[in-house]
Amino acid sequence: MALCLVTAGKTLAIAASAFSLSWVHSVEKTEWQENWEVSGQMLVLRQARVKGSGAGMDPGDGARLVDGWWVWQPDTPPVEELNLAASGETVSGWKLCHEDAGHDKAQKCLDLGTRKADTIRLAVCGNNDG
């Protein structure tokens, strides 16, 4: 399966069965990370991590503190797509990282939503024209 990233009318297919999303919280200015898996035609949130807690950043149920990060397995249903919208009011956009399918297995990262009003849709390729 491939992950499709749709933005500004363009589609980028990424040969990845898993990816991470990270961003800096707009109020607390601390990092949040999520690990996602492409499973069938759905996206499954496998793990979330937040470096600290505060306004709108409460760790989830069962969270444990590991090397300064609150880490937990969210109990959320799989989704067909993720829609990201940049407000322009945050420190940064999102960073999407995945393992390269090539022989070196290096991690590749993309910066998303770096401009106000950027909209990004992530979905399994083939879902809803993704």
For the stretch 48-66, pLDDT in tens is 999 876 666 678 889 999 9
Q: pTM for this one?
A: 0.83
Query: In 27-72, which ranges are E strands?
Result: 31-39, 42-50, 64-66, 69-72
Count of CB atoms situated within 10 Å of the CB of 74: 14
d(CA 126, CA 130): 5
Range of the domain at 14: 3-129
Q: In the chain, pLDDT over 90 holds for what percent of residues?
A: 43
Token duo for residue 47: 């793990």
Question: What pLDDT is attached to residue 99?
Answer: 76
Mean of pLDDT values over 99-104: 63
Mean of pLDDT values over 26-52: 88
